[in-house]
Amino acid sequence: QVQLQASGPGLVKPSETLSLTCTVSGDSISSYYWSWIRQPPGKGLEWIGYIYNSASTNYNPSLKSRVTISVDTSKNQLSLKLSSVTAADTAVYYCARGTVGLTSGWGQGILVTVSS
């Protein structure tokens, strides 16, 4: 059974870059689609983007200019970088496995707060 564990700083300053890592166990990062999804506190879900075949990506146009999703196959890890963050980027960030935009296995999520 696949397990996903997100990690990274819980606090990021405005204008800086948010960087998160998702460690995948029980499955190869070279298979499936791997997504990032976020949820502001008390609000709904927003799809950020996905990567598949270790290099092909698709991003939400609302975030595309600031987002990079990549994988490290040697570590079986997925990463997310979001630049020029503001308070509006405060959210729980989830990594998830699936096919195209459908996600069937989610990590537990990590809360990232943007504040000085």
Partner 1 sequence: EIVLTQSPGTLSLSPGERATLSCRASQSVSSNNLAWYQQKPGQAPRLLIYGASSRATAIPDRFSGSGSGTDFTLTISRLEPEDFAVYYCQQYGDSPYTFGQGTKLEIK
Give the burial string for 64-103 (b: 16+ CB within 10 Å, else e).
Answer: eeebbbebeeeebbbbbebeebeeebbbbbbbbbbeeeeb
Instruction: Supply the minimum distance, in Å, between the C-beta of residue 116 and partner 1.
Output: 27
Residue 8 or 109: the one with the smaller Cβ distance to partner 1 is 109
Nearer to partner 1, 62 or 70 (CB): 62
CB of 21 to partner 1, least distance (A): 17
CB of 79 vs partner 1, minimal distance in Å: 19
Which residues contribute to the site for partner 1 (CB under 8 A)? Answer: 44-47, 58, 60-62, 94, 96, 100-104, 106-109
Q: How far apart are CA 44 and CA 69, in angstroms?
A: 21
Give the Cα separation of 55 and 92 in Å (integer). Answer: 25
Element housing 78 (H / E): strand 77-82
In angstroms, give the least distance from the CB of 80 to partner 1.
16
Instruction: Report the candidate in 113, 116, 103 with the shortest Cα–Cα distance to residue 46.
Output: 103
Nearer to partner 1 (CB atom), residue 16 or residue 105: 105
